[in-house]
Structure 1
Amino acid sequence: MFRHAGLLGIWLLLSGCQSAYYSAMEKVGVEKRDILVDRVEDARDAQEDAQQQFSSALERFSTLLEFDGGELQRVYEGLKDQYEASEASAEKVSARINKVQDVADALFDEWQDELDQYSSEKLRRDSSVKLKDTQRRYTQLLNSMRRAESKMTPVLSALKDNVLYLKHNLNASAIGSLQGEFSGIKRDIDLLLREMNRAIDQSNEFIQSIQN
């Protein structure tokens, strides 16, 4: 929605000056609420991409266990590529969740401070209620995203272990040794995908609630 911030906004964002970035965006009519929606969408999209990547890694691992002859080096490189792509996806998910948290903190601090500026008690109360409701929905969303994020760690650790093992044992017997690893990896990836589905659903609900 608001992905083109202009050269000034991009420079400020890359430099880490988030408060200056938000101020610059407000000057061109983009409020923190708009940026929050945009970043929740980005985090949701990153999780959807990660789901596909981890599913692809599981499929590659399954194919590895069906190895019945051929070039083991190619098999190893394929699994290694899947691990590295999964690691990159996980880092992208974490980075985007962090961006969501950053702008949400700034938005809620500003919203709370501005409650004191109302002269109308009725409007102040109404805004305060909306603030608490939005914070409650956001906390549920963030917890869900962080829970899904935490499920990536055991999957990445298991994939890395298997890549390292195969790297130094490029022989057919090594494939047999990895057979017992598959069920655990599949279980962890299935759990990860379920948690990500919950976070994605909550992202969509939050976006809808904040835009209404």
Structure 2
Amino acid sequence: HIAFIGHPAELDDVLPKVLNGSWRSSYEAKAADAKRIAHNQLAAREMSLTRPIYAKLTPAMQAEDWTAALLAIEEGLALMPDSCEFRQIHADLLLHKLRDIKTGMPVMRELVEDAIDKKFEAVSWMVMALNQLFDPTIDNSHLPHDDRFAMGNELSEQILELNPPQGDGPLKFHWYIPVAQYYYESGNKDRAIELIEVAIKSLDHQEPMPDHTKQHYLTPLLQALANYTG
């Protein structure tokens, strides 16, 4: 049996070398092993840092003890200041759980700026940030209107520039929901509907996924479309 860990697209190059016996001693094999080892070491290090944080954070979140949760996540950020998940939780706690607008909005602005500055992870970070401001399932009425819409505009434009509707970029079915919500709340209902329709169609262009997974992504898209057209 042959086990391959990597992207399927790499198999066309790797498999012939495995079959003829040249892969094991090749430079590519050694480089792949080094990359795998480095990745595993990084993952192990991150787990060693995050495990004690989640040991404090999880029970605090379950008990809705937002102050204790905030202390835990701030401890986590001191260890891993560029953790996407920690920064998302931090913003959510301040803006939506504690509703500490004075502290939360500067944190949110910094998150938006950092998300836009990202390179390879830019869109996923920007969508995460935009969800804090325009997730249709969250009540954002307590957030300062002008700041919220200014950040929403900047994030939405950047997301669509990197993953335009006419392009074949990935994850439109997930990433376009907060973008569409921004345009809808801004009064541009036609743009919001267009983006949701593109997102729905994109589900048919993805690699095959289980029906329950497809339904998971389709349900909020159909709900958004119903809200915008109703």
Structure-2-length-normalised TM-score? 0.25
TM-score by length of 1: 0.27
More helix by share: 1
Higher Rg of the two aligned structures: 1
Higher relative contact order by CA 8 Å / sep ≥ 6: 1 or 2? 1
